[in-house]
Chain A
Amino acid sequence: MRIDCKDLACPEPVLKTKTALEGLPDDAILEIELNSVSSIENCTRFGENQGCTVQKKALEDGTTLLTLVKGYGCAIVESEKEGLVNKTFFFKSDQIGEGELGKKLLFGFLKAALELDSLPKTIIFVNTGVKVTTLEENQPAIDSLLELEKRGVEVYSCGLCLGELGIDPSLVKVGKVGNAFDTMQTLVGSDVVSL
């Protein structure tokens, strides 16, 4: 089912989503067309609050399409993007290995990744790894990550880790802030390379 909630003011999009969702059986898919920041965030919150799997996609005409999978339906597996393999690079600290070499390796490694023929679908930063995407001292890494993101790689920084380290989420310079659920889902659903 697909509903059009474009140009509607809050709380209309959420109410229309609620009504549509209530009328659907479990495992059904609801697609919502939206075009404002507030309605996208609100419908995402609502969907997650109702236990749905929520996916967001930008359409060419500027519309955002939210896909809600009701109940325990499996998440939709997107068709593989060109040049991306179903691998996840998992960074648990802001360097690779100990000592001074650790930082050099991190920068060098990410730069080298740009030369790869096939890129990982996702890169996740947890624990002190979130410093890589936020602190100015890691600008060389951020530059590489921005380029990787341009090529379709999804970059996530752990929201909880940012909070624990006192780093404002607005400082994340590349990719998105991820939550524990999404992280686990990605780790379970792909080959993981821990770094």
Chain B
Amino acid sequence: MNTEAKLTKYVRASGCAAKLNPGSLGEATCRLESFHKDLIVAFEGNEDAGVYKVTDDVAMVQTIDFITPVVDDPFVYGQIAAANSLSDVFAMGAEAKTALNVVGFDGKHHDSEILAEILRGGADKAAECGAVIVGGHTIETPEMLYGLSATGFIHPEKVLRNNGIREGDHILLTKPLGMGILITAIKADLLPKEVVLRVAENLKTLNLKASRIAVACNAHGCTDVTGFGFLGHLGEMSAGNFTIKVHADQVPYFPEATEMAAMGIIPAGSYANRDFLKANDRVAFRKALTPEMEMILFDAQTSGGLLISGTPEDVAEMEKRCKEEGLAAAVIGEVVKKEEADLVVC
């Protein structure tokens, strides 16, 4: 991996850990409303993408996401940022078709060669899922940022919502956790090269296959794990309608994240996620976890996996198929009748 460009050294926070905290975002967007007879998904329910019905058979899925550098190699950063942006299309169960580059370029610290590499990385990931980059927009910014505004298509009746979960469902997670902590450790140059490569590989893995498996196996609900962390996004799935029981010992994560968390290499975004969920009594811990494991469950993820709900049989089939595709997927919880807290970790 080419780490000469030191992309992560010139930004304050890396990846989705730089996201505005969930409380502030909710306060700002709760006043926004959009109505149109063909608008299927908009602001409500913290969805991953907007969905607009074009014809009775075709709906357009639109999303935008951009992140600050999470690795120092510009090509790999481009790949990761694109995978992270496209994930919102996949989280709706859709196929990505076109995308626009969104770039804030820090020309003070980097030359245009770096920009070319980032864009090449983005195009590479778009091509991998059959999408094409059709243009973009670049401005100079003090901190580097890159992502895609992606468009996908889906049958209007097959949209996978965050809150489509039903009582008795099992929930599958398709990528291991710990990315926020490990990206911060990369920024601090604390990880051996071999671990950085494994982290980067996980980050740039598209959620395309996981999404197709979810669709093929009759998923009820789906979202991707990003800045609000594993528990934060599970909370959105619960939407206060059900309680989700999380089996902490089944949750896949990078073991190196435990070590880094114990050293205090935890991004502020992860603490913000914890404080938001705890302050609102959204989560109850019925089992004593190590402080490190608890922070991993709250950790702000970049390009995280999908959380997919379905009947226990369907989810077992999804897990099997994901594993056949080389994804470290695991059944991490189940949906039960609403209890006091939206999430119960046991």
> CB within 8 Å of B: which residues of A?
9-11, 14-15, 36-39, 41-46, 49, 159-160, 162-164, 166, 168-170
Segment of B132-140, B151-159, B266-274 in the binding face:
B266-274
B316 to chain A, nearest CB (A): 29
- A162 and B288 CA atoms in complex are apart in Å by 8
A157 to chain B, nearest CB (A): 13
A18 to chain B, nearest CB (A): 8
The proximity string for B residues 258-278 relative to A, scoring 1 for CB distances below 8 Å and 0 otherwise, is 000111111110111001001
Contact (A10, B288) CB under 8 Å given A41-B271, A170-B278: no
Contact (A42, B288) CB under 8 Å given A11-B184, A11-B185: no
User: Is there contact, CB below 8 Å, between A10 and B266?
Assistant: yes
User: Is there contact, CB below 8 Å, between A14 and B288?
Assistant: no
User: Is there contact, CB below 8 Å, between A45 and B284?
Assistant: no
Residues of A within 8 A of B184 (CB): 10-11
Residues of B within 8 A of A11 (CB): 184-185, 187-188, 190, 264-265
User: Is there contact, CB below 8 Å, between B13 and A41?
Assistant: no
- A45 and B291 CA atoms in complex are apart in Å by 10
User: Is there contact, CB below 8 Å, between B265 and A169?
Assistant: no
- A10 and B291 CA atoms in complex are apart in Å by 18
Number of residues in B with C-beta < 8 Å to the partner?
27
User: Is there contact, CB below 8 Å, between A41 and B278?
Assistant: no
User: Which B202-220 residues sit within 8 Å CB-CB of chain A?
Assistant: none
Q: Out of A41, A164, A166, which one reaches B266, CB within 8 Å?
A: A41
> CB within 8 Å of A: which residues of B?
12-13, 184-185, 187-188, 190, 261-268, 270-272, 275, 278, 281, 284-288, 291
User: Is there contact, CB below 8 Å, between A46 and B264?
Assistant: yes
- A47 and B315 CA atoms in complex are apart in Å by 43
Q: Could you list 14 A-B pairs, sorted by A, with CB under 8 Å?
A: A9-B12, A9-B13, A10-B184, A10-B268, A37-B275, A38-B268, A38-B271, A41-B264, A42-B266, A45-B264, A49-B264, A159-B288, A162-B288, A163-B288
B85 to chain A, nearest CB (A): 23
A-B CB proximity, top 3 nearest: A163-B288, A42-B264, A46-B264
A27 to chain B, nearest CB (A): 22
Residues of A within 8 A of B275 (CB): 37
Chain A: CB-nearest residue to B12: A9
Chain A: CB-nearest residue to B190: A11
Residues of A within 8 A of B262 (CB): 45, 49
User: Is there contact, CB below 8 Å, between A168 and B284?
Assistant: yes
Residues of A within 8 A of B264 (CB): 11, 14, 41-46, 49
Residues of A within 8 A of B272 (CB): 38
Q: Out of B12, B267, B284, B287, which one reaches A38, CB within 8 Å?
A: B267
- A39 and B265 CA atoms in complex are apart in Å by 9
Known: A11-B264, A15-B188, A45-B262; 9 extra A-B contacts, CB below 8 A, are A10-B266, A10-B267, A11-B265, A39-B268, A46-B264, A163-B287, A164-B288, A166-B286, A168-B285
Residues of B within 8 A of A45 (CB): 261-264, 266, 291
Residues of A within 8 A of B185 (CB): 11
User: Is there contact, CB below 8 Å, between A36 and B268?
Assistant: yes
- A43 and B267 CA atoms in complex are apart in Å by 12
Chain A: CB-nearest residue to B262: A49
Q: Out of A37, A41, A43, A169, which one reaches B285, CB within 8 Å?
A: A169
Residues of A within 8 A of B266 (CB): 10, 38, 41-42, 45
User: Is there contact, CB below 8 Å, between A10 and B261?
Assistant: no
Residues of B within 8 A of A46 (CB): 263-264
- A36 and B272 CA atoms in complex are apart in Å by 11
Residues of B within 8 A of A169 (CB): 285
- A132 and B144 CA atoms in complex are apart in Å by 51
